Amino acid sequence: MSPPVWRSHCYEGRRKADDSILNGERGALATATHGYTLRMARPISAPRGTRDLLPEDGPAWSRIEEIARDLSERYAFDRIDTPLFERIELFSRGLGESSDAVEKEMFRVSGAAGSEEERADWALRPEPTAGIVRAYLEHGMHVRPGPQRLWMIGPMFRYDRPQAGRYRQFVQWDVEVIGDPGPMVDAEIIELGQRFYSEVGLSDVAAYVNSIGDATCRPAYRQALVDYFSAHEASLTDDSRRRLRVNPLRVLDDRDLDPELAAGAPRSVDHLCDACRAHFDAVRGLLNGLGVRYELDHRLVRGLDYYTRTTFEFFVAGRRGQQQALGGGGRYDGLAELLGGRPTPGIGFGIGIDRSVLAAAEQGVEAAVEAPLVAVVSSEAGELGLRLAAAATLRAAGLRVRADGSTRKLGKQLESAAKLGARWAVIIGDDPGTVILRDLDEHTQRELPLSEVAAAIG
């Protein structure tokens, strides 16, 4: 008889450093002898560029997501959710064939083997705006009253080279206002972004703003860039030379661009038509009036092709690396038409939740303080039902409760309650209506009716 092979999981209770999660293969085959051959199955790790959110990460994430949800409510946005995957054509038409998201970073999805859709042209969404505008058009939302103010929070997927702050799956909080051409909403959206960072507790978040014109003035600006950069082609990176041919605005986006060359490049604000200039002046005036601090950034063209007029990005001041943007957005007045709809103006932003959580941790912002934990314990194993009933009563009163389901001695149960971080233990005795409330920090206790525990804990 061949010896049994033991399979074992490699469980890591402790979070590994971010970088090793991004790059590392965990574990290897190991053998040991113990009478039998002990073969450790190779542990399966999360796909490269993805991360597990572990219990210790939860409070920081929940707090920041809650701020996003709460602000969406306060700014009168309505929730929308669109599928995680869409037709590739939605992105190639909406974001542009030459955008990195489409050209290099598409996560393709196909149907089940043998199905009609085995070769379907779907992709996991790299961003939400195209899907939201698709939904807006598909559901005829233009007939609803007022501009549509929509928000969502959820995962996006880009097959990018993973590194700290740049993941293949990441979460964005997204807001969009569709159907409002005026400058007021541009300022409102930028102010909302700044308010988010301030409520998260991040100091020193800078907003950078630009206007890249529209279909009227962009062609001349584009040509001015082609003329300028063609004359300096030898100084461009390979990537920029390619960008010069397919989308010259994106040469400005190349962070390896020679700074002197960049500084001398034609500026979009100098090529705006009268309507775009008036719009941008109004946006700036409104931002000034609101007291929102921002800087002009003439190189801020954004990586997606759908943008028109106002573009903006948020960074921790002084940090402008490509994977450092905390959020960004802009106006996309031509996107609905690209997707087959009637001309419909739109503006919005996407804020990276992963990067906001990282920045908050770097700046030492306190994660949410959870409500104190209450442990329900008792000395008799036969009282499991009473423990459960008491826990239900306490939870109904709003407390955060864990009931011990073990048959261990009372002392052991109290020990493990303390290890779990419980602040209080509720000890059930013979009379289910009366319990002992033990303060596990102060080591004091008193007897009281179960119905009074919530008030006693306050």
| Residues found near ligand HAM in the complex (CB under 6 A) | 127-129, 158, 160, 166-167, 170, 172, 174, 176, 303, 325-330, 332, 348-350, 352, 354-355
Q: Which is nearer to ligand HAM, 358 or 367 (CB)?
A: 358
Q: Which is nearer to ligand HAM, 162 or 266 (CB)?
A: 162
Who contacts 88 (Cβ-Cβ below 8 Å, separation ≥6)? 102, 106, 108, 121, 122, 123
Contact criterion met (CB below 8 Å) for 426 and 437: yes
Q: Which is nearer to ligand HAM, 103 or 439 (CB)?
A: 103
Q: Which is nearer to ligand HAM, 150 or 374 (CB)?
A: 150
Q: How far is the CB of 73 from ligand HAM (least distance, A)?
A: 19
Q: Which is nearer to ligand HAM, 183 or 327 (CB)?
A: 327
Q: Which is nearer to ligand HAM, 325 or 376 (CB)?
A: 325
- The amino acid that residue 94 corresponds to is G
Q: Which is nearer to ligand HAM, 91 or 122 (CB)?
A: 91
Q: How far is the CB of 412 from ligand HAM (least distance, A)?
A: 44
Q: How far is the CB of 326 from ligand HAM (least distance, A)?
A: 5
Q: How many CB atoms lie within 10 A of CB 49?
A: 20
Q: How far is the CB of 355 from ligand HAM (least distance, A)?
A: 4
Q: Which is nearer to ligand HAM, 22 or 428 (CB)?
A: 22
Q: How far is the CB of 18 from ligand HAM (least distance, A)?
A: 12
Q: Which is nearer to ligand HAM, 294 or 349 (CB)?
A: 349
- The amino acid that residue 104 corresponds to is K
Q: How far is the CB of 130 from ligand HAM (least distance, A)?
A: 8
Q: How far is the CB of 7 from ligand HAM (least distance, A)?
A: 34
Q: How far is the CB of 455 from ligand HAM (least distance, A)?
A: 44
Quickly tell me which residue has 């493990």 as its tokens. 416
Quickly tell me which residue has 């943007």 as its tokens. 325
Q: How far is the CB of 159 from ligand HAM (least distance, A)?
A: 9
Q: Which residue is nearest to ligand HAM (CB)?
A: 352
